[in-house]
Amino acid sequence: MSSYFHYRGSQLYVEQVPLADIAAQFDTPCYVYSRAALTDGLRQFTEALRGHEHLICYAVKANSNLAILNIFARLGAGFDIVSGGELQRVLAAGGDARKVVFSGVGKSVAEIRMALDAGILCFNVESAAELDRLNKVAESMGKIAPASLRVNPDVDAKTHPYISTGLKQNKFGVAYDEAIALYRRARDMPHLRITGIDCHIGSQLTETSPFIAAAEKILALVDTLADEGIHLEHIDLGGGVGICYRNETPPEIADYVAALLGTLRGRSEKLILEPGRVLTGNAGVLLTRVEYLKHGEEKNFAIVDAAMNDLVRPALYDAFHEILPVAQEPSHKSNPSNGRGGERENLSSIYEIVGPICETGDFIGHARDLAITPQALLAVLSAGAYGMSMSSNYNTRPRAAEVIVDGIAMHLVRERETVSQLYAGEKIIL
């Protein structure tokens, strides 16, 4: 648990605010973020990179709430976007288009036009066909598009197969062995300006070695390109640093950055990084309430008001999220001296924490030892990244509210959706 979420007595707090107060004021399910936790990670990057020209491009898809983007923008961050929609969010949040890199394998003509109009820093081009399209669209607008190739270094990120992106069999980037030929081609396209190189090998990496292996391969390409007279302004080494959900031991931001800077060995190119999860993941929790306790023949269920539509990671990746009671039951605190250990047995059970959705895959956690009563509040930890941003309206469930806590202040940064919003664009036919 990040230090911004902590127990004071039996009550779970975020910064100076009891989570119970947030539930009372904004209802559940609700995403709750700590502003201090959000800024802390970005500061660690900035400090570790001091002395080397750099740009931190926060990966918007991890959590795209406007308030969060605005906090990062005001701290000087740029943004890594993967759609035109994310570009619009960045601009609406006060982000600087000149600090935006645009990744993704399927950029549409409309998205490319929008990004060229906005004047983004760079397109991270992921295929030969995209290079052609980018050149054509730029020509039609009388512009020169800044381009970088996303190169697939064929490095095993040793993470979940769904979030591993740097292997030969993945759909991302251009093959390492084809990169030089594509750079030559790009150099000859009149409406492109080659500015850099990019890679991103996967997400939730808990070791530094794959990052280093990828960086070394990318730097070898940079040298080869320089020999051909293609000089790059920046090297973008992507995102992917993992966080602790349970017992993982991901690298500290400072150590990860130091290792990357070590591979650069005094080169002068600007270093771009695209962290997502590591900036927001442990800065947020999903606050939910127990609706029912159901004691089955084989298993006990705590049915909560959050579901896979709110937080899909357990259902999608079998991901683990720590789940804590917002109020610790007094008898759950181990106190062997009072001789009343038996009470704890009565209250505490092993629960499947499940949502109301009609899918067996709708679970938040398996086999959790919790002392809870109906109506108890639970905090699902490490939910700040790929939580709200992957949420849906399955089962016509309005999406949760989002709150940022800043010291003693709580700010509603996204209102709970209403059901009428969900079908506002639908029409009945005669």
Ligand X SMILES: *Cc1c(COP(=O)(O)O)cnc(C)c1O
Residues engaged in binding ligand X (CB under 6 A)? 59, 61-62, 80, 82, 103, 200, 203, 238-241, 274-278
Distance CA 61, CA 71 (A): 16
Closer to ligand X by Cβ: residue 22 or 235: 235
Q: How far is the CB of 424 from ligand X (least distance, A)?
A: 30
Q: Give the pair of three-digit tokens for residue 124.
A: 């991270």
Closer to ligand X by Cβ: residue 236 or 269: 236
Name which of 166, 170, 164, 173 is nearest 197 in CA terms: 173
Q: How far is the CB of 80 from ligand X (least distance, A)?
A: 5
Q: To the nearest 5 percent, what fractions of the chain are helix, strand and coil?
A: 35, 25, 40
Distance CA 241, CA 274 (A): 10
Closer to ligand X by Cβ: residue 82 or 327: 82
Q: Is 143 helix (H, G, I), strand (E, B) or coil?
A: coil
Q: How far is the CB of 158 from ligand X (least distance, A)?
A: 13
Distance CA 264, CA 167 (A): 23
The residue with its CB nearest to ligand X is 276
Q: Is 205 helix (H, G, I), strand (E, B) or coil?
A: strand
- Give the Cβ contact number of residue 418 at 10 Å: 9
Catalytic residues: 358
Strand partners, 147: 123, 194
Distance CA 176, CA 153 (A): 6
Closer to ligand X by Cβ: residue 102 or 183: 102
Closer to ligand X by Cβ: residue 170 or 395: 170
| Strands, sheet with 11-14, edge to edge from the N-terminal-most edge strand | 5-8, 11-14, 17-18
